[in-house]
Structures are given as structure tokens and as C-alpha cells.
Structure 1
């Protein structure tokens, strides 16, 4: 099979590789669509890969090509979305249903070979079936969508509140859609890119604010009657937006950090004191899993996607054949060139 193999920083080679052999309870998926995630960028453009060589890719969908011994829940020809986490299912965290906190996990596309290839082997429990009404490119969005929904479930979001989403990237625009779907009164998206803010408006944002404008503070005061936002979702992983979330939060607010920071974060003592003064709740959200594995986040994504209540098409910026993966990464090396999800179509 063809696979895009990462050998070192900025060294991806599309080459022939053996089709994975199947262990018991595993299936072989012919990959039809696979995304490039923001977490893949430091692995390719930096030194964050766990080891070399490695085939990355953990957002994917395809068709079951072959099944291994003991497989009973899926059959050859099924269309499936892939679940990348491989928990141990034995530790205390796993037994408590906290699979993302498993200390002994593996992960398809970072610890073991993933979906930037024509075929990937996964446990059958890591395959979520979907029907012909959903395109493969949309099904490859189930994983990032589940990440966004998991954050809202984690903070026990019940709707009826004004929500601020900091960051208009893919996770931010998915969080926007889920907040609206779950009954937010209004959702305001903050970003510094007008194209992203335009996408947010098309996807249902009630307000968009370019955070570079000097009157942001006044806009927020007018919008919230000076109270701030009762729910703040930080999705960019930026030190700027993480500090900004403290400023935007209302008294007794819920702040959730979904974005993963790439460097150290510094708060002034006055900024950090806002947590005391406002008595807001600050939490993080990690991955996309709940019990029973992989969780309602995955089931609900496919349910509402089938009903047409989630829009993933708006998020796809460009698609590339697997052979052109380096051209895709050339776009990431050009500041401002990527305006959404880049997706690979291996087969």
C-alpha cells in the first residue's frame, strides 16, 4: 500500500509499505478520507513526534476491507469512522470510564501507525458504522466534532446561556455548532482572521468579534450589559486567548480550555486574581471519550450529522490525494494560507 511516512522534521515520504496484518478483534479499513489535525503540525513541522518512522493521521473514515479472528460487530463493506484512542481498559481510570486519562493507552496516528495511508488496522471497538447518507469527508470530522462536544458535556452545559468561543479554527467552529444545537441563547466567536469570522457567521454565530480591534472591551460590555459571558470556550491554545478568557468571563462563569498550548503561559497577578474575584470555574477538556467506549460524543455526532444539523462541509478548505501531502504542508508553512481543514483522500 501507499503510506505517507514521517522520518524526521519536515521529512514525509510517500512510499510503499506492507498492508498491516490483523490481530484478533481487529479490522482492516481502506481509508477514504483523513484529516490533518492541528496536533499533527508540531509532529511534522517540529520535533513532537513520539518516534520515527511513523505514519500519522487519526481523523479518518473508510470501508472495512477485511476482518480478523473474533470480529463480530462489523462486516466487510461497512462504512466506518475511526476512533484513534486505544485504552488499556484495565486501569482505574478506564474502569471508571475515564478512557482519556488512561496511563497505558496507545493512539492510532501518533503512538502506532495511523490513517495517512491506503489502509489502517484498528480494533473493531474503534470502528463506528455510518450509512451512505454521510460522505466520507464528513465522517472524517467525527473525531474533532466529538472533541468539541466532549468539552460541553464536561462542563455540563445545559443551554440557555450566552457563550463565548475564543478561536475560529476547526474546533472553535465545531464548538459553536454544538453550543447552538444544545440550546445556547447566543454564541459569540472571537478570532483575528476575518475569513474565519465569516465562516462562523455562516455557521450560525450570533456575533463575531475581531480581537485585534481596539474596541473589543466596549463591544463585550455592550453585548453582555457589562456582565461578561457565563460560558467561555477557549479553543485556540494561545496564551493570548487563555488570558482573554479570564477577562471575558462573568462572575461564577464556566471556562473550559479545549485548545492545547504549544508553549509556556504567563498570567500577571492581576489577571490570575480574576479567578478569585469572579469565582469562576476553570477546567480543561481532553480528547473525546466517555462510557461506554467510545462515548455519546461519537454517537451524537453521527446522529445530528445525518439529520443535517451539523455542517462539516463549510470547514473543509482543500482536499489532496495522498501523493500530494507535502503540497498540503507547504500551505501550512505559508502564514494565513490555510482557512480550514486540509484533508487527504488516499483511496
Structure 2
């Protein structure tokens, strides 16, 4: 089969490898119909290289079940599924508490086991979530990033009528934050980014106001939008060391800051921004992964439900649909910012 394998920084290769085989009673083989390129994938591609040299990349996907282990009871041949990429090497204190995202044994597919940028993938049955016939594979491949957003939202006290600021709103995670904030009942959704083209996508996805941080004074414009109060909830979705150090200034006194983006760099916070945490008595929340108890969690069930009801519309975010052979090209376009990319999908059957 074809697979996109990761050998080092800026080194992706489309290769022919053996198809995965059933090894355990609860293994399931899925034919991949659509797989999404994640920001964490491109960050590793640009900077760090793979956890395991030569590993098949990718952890966002949807497909169809083509083979099951003899112990699998919840899935059958032909079932349409999406996959939770959270895997565990063992059981520790937090795993046994059902706080799976906090387990030291947590790792994602494509780190130690092959990912989904391939024709087929082997997954544990418990990690596969059925999708209805009315939900297309391309949309369903975005359920995983949706669960990342929902996992973060569940950490907050965000409620109907709150004002929300989303920083780095033009990326796929930021755009999903906008859509979920609308479903959640936000009063005003304010999108911050540095690219006017991405800010236009924010409006298309439901943002009420936009601020271009490269052209405008964010604090002044935000104060104007919110009558000097700022936002009840600020979400850092850019994964930038710069924005992660500044978001505290955008929250209302007594408000919350949710850190969703992964900077992959040291974050240095100037005194002005750090004192906002203290003087404004902010609650700062970290969020990691996409799972809760009972595994894989309500993040998955609710994402499938609201995707299927068209309350969340991934088609507004998807900008590229490409064959596996084009993986290096789209990775370079994202890293080098030569194209406007919302969500890029790899479609093995192309």
C-alpha cells in the first residue's frame, strides 16, 4: 500500500509498504478515505523531525472497516468510522482515574505506531467511533480536531451570552473554535489573526468582529468592541510563543484564558502581560488531547452529533483535497506560507 513516511525535518516520502495485519483480538483494519493535516504535523515537519524515524504520519482520519479481530464486538465490516488517535502504553494513576489526557502513558498514533496518511491503518476497536451514513468522510476526518476544541471548552466555565476572543483564529483549530463558540451561545465572537485572508474565513465561519494584529492595536480595538471590559473567555489557538505570552491582556477581569495552541518554543511573558493574570484575577487553563471518560469521551459523541446536524460545518474550513503523493507539497506550502490553507485533506483514493 501507499504511505507517507516521516524521516526527518522537511523529509516526507511516499513509499510502498506492507498492508497492516490483525495482530490482536481487538485490532481493526480501516481503509482510510480522508486524512487531515494537523498543525502539530507541520510543526514537527518544519522543526523537529519524527518521534520514530520512518513512521507513517497522520492522526486525523475517517474511513471504512475492512477487517476486525475475533474479539471485536462493537464494529463490523463496512462500518463507517472516525478514529481517536490517543493510545496508551500502560495504566498509571491518571489513566485509572479516567483522566486519560493527563496520563504519562499517552501518545498519539504516528509517534510510536503507524499513522493514517496511508491506504489502510490498524486501530484498537475502542478508538474507533461510528459515523452515520449521512456524514461524508471528508467532514468526518475533521472530528478529531473538533474534539480537541471541545475538550478545551469543557475545561472552561464558558456559558451562553459570554464574549469570546480567539487568537490565531484563522487556522483550522481557531475556525472550529469560532463555530463551536456559536453553537455554545457566545454573544460576540472576536477573531484575531495577522492575515486578512484568514480573517475573511473567520467571518465566513461565524465571527462577529475581526482584528488584524499586524495592522491594528489589539488592546484599543478590543476595548472598543467590548466597552472596555474585554472578553469573558480568551482562547489561544495559534500555537505561537508570541501570542501565548500576550493573550492575558485580552481577558475581562475575573475572566478565563484557555491555552489550546502548542507553541513548540519557549514562552517569555513580559511583566505587563503577566500582571494581567494577577491583577485581573484570571483563571488560566491548559488543555491537552481530546479524550475523557468513558473513553474516548463526550467530545467524540457530541462532535459526531453536531457535525451530522450541520451545526458544525467543516466544509467552510477545508481548502485543499490532495492525493498522498502531494503531501510534501502541501506541507511546504503550509510551513512556507505560500498558500492560504485552512484544512488540507489527503485522500488516498485520488
Superposed counterparts of 1:100-179, under 5 Å: 100-168=101-169, 169-179=171-181
Give the superposition deviation at 1:337: 1.4
Q: Is the aligned partner of 1:15 residue 2:1? A: no
Q: Could you tell me whether the CA contact under 8 Å between 2:245 and 2:270 is conserved in 1? A: no
The runs of 5 or more residues in structure 2 that have no matched partner are none
Give the superposition deviation at 1:30: 0.3
Could you list the structure 1 runs, at least 4 aligned residues long, displaced by more than 6 angstroms after superposition: none
Give the superposition deviation at 1:271: 2.1
- String of CA shifts for 1:117-159, please: whole Å, max 9, x gaps: 1000000011110122111110000000011111110113222
Rounded Cα–Cα distance in structure 2 between residues aligned with 1:136 and 1:72: 23
The runs of 5 or more residues in structure 1 that have no matched partner are none
Superposed counterparts of 1:38-49, under 5 Å: 38-49=39-50
Rounded Cα–Cα distance in structure 1 between residues aligned with 2:336 and 2:43: 15
Give the superposition deviation at 1:11: 2.1
Rounded Cα–Cα distance in structure 2 between residues aligned with 1:228 and 1:205: 16
| Residue 243 of structure 2: aligned partner | 241
- String of CA shifts for 1:79-110, please: whole Å, max 9, x gaps: 00011001357322112121111112342122
Give the superposition deviation at 1:21: 1.6
Superposed counterparts of 1:276-287, under 5 Å: 276-287=278-289
Superposed counterparts of 1:157-306, under 5 Å: 157-168=158-169, 169-306=171-308
Give the superposition deviation at 1:77: 0.4
Q: Could you tell me whether the CA contact under 8 Å between 2:99 and 2:293 is conserved in 1? A: yes
TM normalised by structure 2 equals: 0.96
Give the superposition deviation at 1:329: 2.2
Rounded Cα–Cα distance in structure 1 between residues aligned with 2:72 and 2:185: 39
| Residue 4 of structure 1: aligned partner | 4
Rounded Cα–Cα distance in structure 2 between residues aligned with 1:277 and 1:10: 44
TM normalised by structure 1 equals: 0.96
Q: Could you tell me whether the CA contact under 8 Å between 1:173 and 1:203 is conserved in 2? A: yes
Name whichever of 125-134 and 3-12 sits farther off: 3-12
Rounded Cα–Cα distance in structure 2 between residues aligned with 1:223 and 1:333: 32
